[in-house]
Structure 1
């Protein structure tokens, strides 16, 4: 580790601008895909490849700097502050979507049903409207996909809740093993966490296939379909990224990286994983259960 009075300032890096370009290509590919463009898949796959290359290269540079002893306590503090603010930004990101769900359920739907105004607004827009959540009936079946049912809470979502809560325990055990210099236990508990993370993603993919094909629940299924896929979809993306980060940390622990006093990269990913757990509990309660 570097001397305490020396603050390491990295040299200029290509990765921020390269990452911006890679994300731009990825988003263009996604936009083309949603609009049915014939070349969408090619652009999308190029974007995914560029983003993957960016992550591998950037992680490699940072790991190399850390292993070479260029970081000290001051740099560690800056990393912790940066990760803390990053997680806070993620909290605000999901708060916006939870806020949209809350507004639709607690304000828009009752207002459309005539609550508080003395006028049944829906009589002028959709006479068959029922002010009850979830809105699984759409006003115009020709323009909106009509779901046959809602996604039940006590099925795959309940199983995934158990999986994520268990993974929060296993990553905590892995952290305890690292702080006590028990490398075998560290690798085993961390491997269990990685497996649980990818199992969660697999089950969610299965749930999406069932909802899309069997229940006809799509983004075009009104407010219920859009809020369901936006909230669970973004969370699934975060779980995927978290599982990949945990896998990187596992590969590093197998190589003997980290010590019981110097392991912030492990802690940062563990913080992120616990954040993902907490968000899922909110999703399970407010999207699936009530």
Structure 2
């Protein structure tokens, strides 16, 4: 009796990985140049060019993968590979945020008390920064600039409620696709996308308020650094998650997916729940504590 093997689809060579690498390089170069004032003030143009190329890459790569999927080229083995790949990707993102939370912990629990003369560091305090007061958030930068800490009420709390609600709506959509209720799936997936876009809008409003009213900027010492690093990186993830779910919604509208075959939706839902959990940690450790 001969053994039966599943067909494993090997995609043809693609230009999209190198295009994505070029886009990410330009984004990093443009962002660094914009902050550092290099290239004669042309940093924003480099950044915008990188973002534009990244969008072209995403459109082209998504198009190719969707075409392969709808052509029946993927087997059960390929589906397992996608699940493993998405699981490892989310794990890598967990490690990113673990490093950022670690930086926040080090600044608050080790560096700030050390500069304040805690333990046997009275001499260090007297020599390095005699006027330093060990408190968090640090509202006075080393050059004497006064800033304010961002509290949990207002926009941060609203955004928390938005993300918690979006986690419920995407779960309802997930149940709907498993039961074959496409009308409910379409509605609640669209609601999730709109809630994600609303979150990004309110975060932009929060940043504008922080810059203009609170003098809380990216260069406002270690507090400003960690605040914008953590919330900004998370905001980027929300933006990407919203884009992914929007593309999935367009596919739902076009009649893609079945009750058995819908991993693209599952991957987007996994990612979205991950983003929601990270925000809860941010809300507690960045805004409340």
Same fold (TM over 0.5): yes
Aligned to 1:127: 130
Aligned to 1:173: 172
Aligned to 2:120: 117
Deviation (angstroms), 1:216? 0.7
Distance 2:36 2:120 in 1: 39
Aligned to 1:13: 14
Provide runs of 4+ in structure 1 moved above 6 Å: none
Distance 2:142 2:23 in 1: 40
Q: Contact (CA 8 Å) 1:4, 1:72: kept in 2 or not?
A: no
Structure 1 residues 4 and 179: alpha-carbon distance in aligned structure 2, compared to 1, 3 A threshold: farther
1:112-165 residue CA offsets vs partner (Å, 9 max, x unmatched)? 222221525221122221111111112313xxx431x21110111111000000
CA RMSD of aligned residues (A): 1.3
Distance 1:42 1:118 in 2: 47
Residue 62 of structure 2 corresponds to residue 59 of structure 1: yes
Aligned to 2:146: 146
Deviation (angstroms), 1:42? 2.4
Distance 1:257 1:232 in 2: 34
Deviation (angstroms), 1:197? 0.3
Deviation (angstroms), 1:227? 0.3
Distance 2:252 2:25 in 1: 33
Q: Contact (CA 8 Å) 2:115, 2:129: kept in 1 or not?
A: no
1:225-279 residue CA offsets vs partner (Å, 9 max, x unmatched)? 0000000000000000100111000000011110111000000010000000000
Aligned to 2:106: 103
State the SS of the aligned residue for 2:137. Answer: coil
Distance 2:34 2:113 in 1: 36
Q: Contact (CA 8 Å) 2:176, 2:182: kept in 1 or not?
A: yes
Deviation (angstroms), 1:39? 1.9
Aligned to 2:93: 90
State the SS of the aligned residue for 1:121. Answer: helix
Q: Contact (CA 8 Å) 1:167, 1:192: kept in 2 or not?
A: yes
Where do 5+ consecutive residues of structure 1 fail to align? none
Aligned to 2:29: 28
TM-score between the two structures when normalised by the length of structure 1? 0.95
Aligned to 2:82: 79
Distance 1:52 1:174 in 2: 26
Q: Contact (CA 8 Å) 2:104, 2:226: kept in 1 or not?
A: yes
Distance 1:129 1:7 in 2: 63
Distance 1:105 1:198 in 2: 32
Q: Contact (CA 8 Å) 1:4, 1:73: kept in 2 or not?
A: no
Aligned to 1:221: 220
Distance 1:55 1:19 in 2: 8
State the SS of the aligned residue for 2:195. Answer: helix
Aligned to 2:279: 280
Aligned to 1:195: 194
Q: Contact (CA 8 Å) 2:115, 2:121: kept in 1 or not?
A: no
> Which one is further off, 159-168 or 38-47?
38-47
Deviation (angstroms), 1:41? 2.7
TM-score between the two structures when normalised by the length of structure 2? 0.95
